[in-house]
Amino acid sequence: MPRVRLASALLVPEPYRGEIDGLRRAMGESTERVPPHLTLVPPINVRPEDVDIAFAVLRRAAANTRPIPVVLGPATTFHPVNPVVYLSVGGDGLDDVHALHDAVLVDVFERPQSLEFVPHVTIVENTTPERIDAALVALADYRVDVIFESVHLLQEIDHVWTPIAEAIFRAQI
């Protein structure tokens, strides 16, 4: 049975998208595979006929979400469990990020959660402890204020994650 690989994420807006891509390149991470993002639903396989249902889930969640202001940074890590450097997510909108995460984990996106949801924007995966330590020092003061105004549905096509749909946040501020 054919399957489509989907994920849902908050894409980092410009000008910070380009800035974070620069950090990713400096750490040796590919910027071609996926744009800087905060994952809400990790990759999941769905039937092709369920793609519309996935987008409907995002539209419903977006209708009840207002723009989400967050602070990205400073850099931190999941090491030693996972050799990743990422930008932490904080600020006034952190609870809204958690609420949106919960709102989209329904229907075709519903699945058991084996790990706690930690909102983050990945800088580099699968790196060495020495590079992790260097990144944490270099990015200790990195912080940017970002406002997420929509949620995206991404599809993996030839190992590249491509946004295929966007749902604008519609709730009143």
Tens digits of residue pLDDT in 77-121 = 999 999 999 999 999 999 999 999 999 999 999 988 888 999 999
pTM of the model as a whole: 0.94
pLDDT at 43: 95
Please check the confidence at residue 4 and state whether its pLDDT lies above 80: yes
Amino acid at 117: F
Please check the confidence at residue 76 and state whether its pLDDT lies above 70: yes
Domain 4-69+89-120+149-168 has CATH 3.40.50.720: no
- C-alpha of 40 from chain center: 6
User: Region 154-159: what's the mean pLDDT?
Assistant: 96
Domain boundaries, the chain: 4-69+89-120+149-168
Please check the confidence at residue 173 and state whether its pLDDT lies above 80: no
Please check the confidence at residue 172 and state whether its pLDDT lies above 80: no
